[in-house]
Structure 1
Amino acid sequence: MMINTLKKTGLMIASIAFATGVAAQKSEPVKVVESKKERKVDVFIGGKPFTSFLYPDSLEKPVLYPLRTANGTVVTRGFPLDPKPGDPTDHPHHIGLWFNFENLNGLDFWNNSYAIHKEKKNLYGWIRTDKVLETKSGTTGVLAYHANWTNQQKDVILEETTRFEFSGTANQRIIDRITTLKASVDATFTDAKDGLLGLRLAHDLQMPATEDQKFTDDKGNVTIVKAGTDKVANGNYLTSAGKTGNDAWSSRGVWCKVYGKMGADSVGIAIIDHPQNPNYPTFWHARGYGLFAANPLGEKIFTNGKSAKNLHLNKGEAVTFRFRVVISNGGQTISSGQLNEMAAEYGKK
């Protein structure tokens, strides 16, 4: 009798644990809302704001901004669109999550911002979004758009078609990005440090400075952060190859995660590379001051000149890049084992 009771109790506990696990992984509904007048698309997951796709004429590229955890914590820097107290004000071109490159046909798309002097603007490229192709709500939310990579005269170098897929659970948010670039003229991505998928982290997720840091913005203003004076930053990096901290920069890996405390919450952001991408696995342009980027086309600087990766497209040719961004929060962030499993699954997609 007691044995049967224990068996029933054990089965009940197992059932409850299983049900709890399933509930924790249950997909939350995604709502995608376009506002043509404001030139933005808002994304809600589980009824809560997650991010917005912004493409006003005042921005030199389209961005996802801000990005939030499942409990609403903003994990991207506020400056320059919505500065928060204590926000670092370096690199005004670092806005939310973006995709561009430092040297395409000699033009710098990455560093373009409002801070560039008018007489120097001709050295910089512009990504102009001209059409939202699709929005869809559901278990997975979809946003697709078309944009042109142009010079200042609006001559088109590349046509971009990007598809975002958004999903989430009680403590996780996922962005799958598929971007196809088709050359309108012969186009060369000359190996450069600044690219390709970039994300600027909230202050808390920066690494604590171990030495004085000096930043000079595009207006020549100098900011110095003294080592040990920043009591907010507590982030760290970890790659699939086991590199941590500053050693993540210039290393290669299938994925890289930044993680830290934001209030009492453990927050992590991981970027996962896709095996079909050029130069897989990517190099990580992951900086302690808050820039978190995947750049497969920066091999020359990341290998100290031992090799280079120049990508050339003849007119009419195209290349596709795929990346997954995973934002987690809760008692602990997503583990290396879970990221390895997710990367394996994503690689089959």
Structure 2
Amino acid sequence: MTRYLASLLLIFMLASTIMADRFSVEKESDKVTVNLDGKLFTEYLIKSGAKPVLWPVIGPNGEPITRGYPMREVSPDEKDDHVHHRSFWFTHGAVNDTSFWHEGGDSTGNIVHREFLTVEDGDEAVIETKNDWVDRHGDVICHDVRKLTFGVTGDSRFIDFDITLTAGDKPVTFGDTKEGSFGVRVAGTMRVNADKGGKIVNSHGQENKDAWGKQAPWVDYSGPAGDDIVGIAILNHPKSFRYPSHWHVRTYGLFAANVFGLHDFKGDSSINASHTLQPGESMTFYYRVLLHPGDVKGGKVAEAFEEYSKTEKASK
């Protein structure tokens, strides 16, 4: 009888483990902590510098895979350049007469958290927020609603980042500049210039410096974090505005999707790829950030894009 009860208890414990939610969230006034299987995955900070960010971001091997500076002191493997490259963010360098990409000075603005719309845990975690874009003059010129979904697929983790930007009561122009828009700064050890095995590859097979400014459905940035090779792939959904994106991806560690910077990317000042939202008009971007073990092949990035590209998204 005792053995029978012990067996039932073991079955119950195993079933409870299988059925338990993988993600838990802890909401505070200034951040939301996302845990995966009881361990830190990331934190959504409503303000770091001049914008909301994710930091730290923990990869599939348990190591941080985005740069820690300037949220903490610079580490030996990092460079203390570009203070506005804060781990994981969305901004743009020319919105009317204001830069939301840079920090400090008379020409910059702030993306100000207004409210949490959704904070959920379960098999996936969801954070949805509304944010005001406050220009250099102190005026709210547009707002965004961003939805971040955190999940697991196989040995990889993912963060779906969906953002809709809506103009206020006046037109808003997102200018043609390379300084934008959806960005990640990879860990110092992963950057190509660290000469530790870091590598950039896009969906067309273009590598490292040759991937800069190119148009592609996805780009992968892999390199060592801790004792393992891991990768960050950004996948652009076909329903995203101006799909497929161009990429402001650098060998020093910047990794950004930018659909507006064509005159820089193509080296042609006659090109104007800016876009104006009329009052009340919106545009929506969809990305999946895949955090995978191994390089682009080991992480099965091409297959992951095919799967992601078939997910339902609204056309905007």
Coarse TM-score class (shorter-chain normalised): 0.7 to 0.9
**1:316 paired residue number:** 280
- Mapped partners of 1:124, 1:258: distance in 2: 29
**1:226 paired residue number:** none
- Mapped partners of 1:93, 1:303: distance in 2: 24
- Mapped partners of 1:28, 1:138: distance in 2: 5
Rate the CA distance shift 1:69–1:168 in 2: closer, same or farther, 3 A. Answer: same
Q: Is the 8 A contact 1:99 1:198 kept in 2?
A: yes
- Mapped partners of 2:44, 2:75: distance in 1: 24
Q: Is the 8 A contact 1:253 1:283 kept in 2?
A: yes
Give the TM-score normalised by structure 2.
0.87
2:184 is the alignment partner of 1:193: no
Deviations 1:198-221 (Å, cap 9, x if unpaired)? 11111111113xxxxxxxxxxxxx
Unaligned runs of 5+ residues in structure 2 are 1-18, 312-316
- Mapped partners of 1:155, 1:178: distance in 2: 25
2:257 is the alignment partner of 1:257: no
Deviation at 1:32, TM superposition (A): 1.8
Q: Secondary structure at the match of 2:111?
A: strand
Rate the CA distance shift 1:70–1:340 in 2: closer, same or farther, 3 A. Answer: closer
Deviations 1:275-301 (Å, cap 9, x if unpaired)? 122222111111011101111111111
Percent identical among aligned pairs is: 34
**1:160 paired residue number:** 144
**2:71 paired residue number:** 81
Residues 16-27 of structure 1 mapped to structure 2, 5 A cutoff:
none
| Number of equivalenced pairs | 290
Deviation at 1:333, TM superposition (A): 3.5
**1:22 paired residue number:** none
Residues 154-233 of structure 1 mapped to structure 2, 5 A cutoff:
154-168=138-152, 171-184=155-168, 185-208=170-193, 233=196
2:272 is the alignment partner of 1:282: no
RMSD: 2.0
Unaligned runs of 5+ residues in structure 1 are 1-25, 209-229
Deviations 1:41-72 (Å, cap 9, x if unpaired)? 1011121101100013x630000111111232
Residues 1-349 of structure 1 mapped to structure 2, 5 A cutoff:
29-36=22-29, 39-56=30-47, 59-86=49-76, 87-112=78-103, 116=104, 120-121=105-106, 123-168=107-152, 171-184=155-168, 185-208=170-193, 233-305=196-268, 307-329=271-293, 332-335=294-297, 338-349=300-311
Q: Is the 8 A contact 1:28 1:170 kept in 2?
A: no
- Mapped partners of 2:237, 2:37: distance in 1: 27
- Mapped partners of 2:132, 2:155: distance in 1: 35
Q: Secondary structure at the match of 1:42?
A: strand
Higher strand share: 2
Deviation at 1:341, TM superposition (A): 2.5
Deviation at 1:170, TM superposition (A): 6.6
Q: Is the 8 A contact 1:69 1:171 kept in 2?
A: no
- Mapped partners of 1:307, 1:59: distance in 2: 32
Task: In structure 2, give the amino acid aligned to 1:100.
Answer: T
